[in-house]
Amino acid sequence: MLFSTCSPNMTRRERIRAMRPFYILYAIYMPFCFLLIFSKPVKDSVGAWTIDLAAGVSMVAMLIAAAAGFARQRDEFQRKLLTEAMMWGVGGLLAITCVWGLLEVHTSIPRMDVLFNFPIFMTITAIAKVAIFRRNPVGNE
């Protein structure tokens, strides 16, 4: 997944074990994210609180799992490549939200839901990771 840098000499089973927290947390996050996007629960209802907190907690848990995996990474070169990919993700997210915000102020474009920020960051980071790891053959997984 995008926050993991598995060593090239890891077995398939070790890679799956390293990625298991992301698979589980992503499987929890996405249904709640889609519920928030498509159902639009009534404000201040118990359902809204439950769905919001479940999506938020699973997102924070994913970030904590990524940080723990990042700290466990012993290969400095792969850590550098992942850091570079995450910087592209942060920069891309910042660029998109700034431009969209300016358009919201000065045009009639619809508001961008804050809920999209984390998936945008993950997508840009994943694309950057693929590009960076392909450019550096030593870092290929």
Of the spans 31-40, 97-106, 107-116, which averages the highest pLDDT? 97-106
Whole-prediction pTM value? 0.76
- Distance between CA atoms of 16 and 56, rounded to whole angstroms? 25
Rounded Cα gap, residues 52 and 137, in angstroms: 41
29-33, 39-43, 111-115: the lowest-pLDDT one:
39-43
Q: Is 134 a residue whose pLDDT tops 90?
A: no
> 77 near 141, Cβ under 8 Å?
no
CB neighbourhood size of 81 (10 A): 21
Give dist(CA 20, CA 107) in Å, integer.
44
Mean model confidence pLDDT for the chain: 83
pLDDT of residue 139: 45
Per-residue pLDDT at 104 exceeds 90: yes
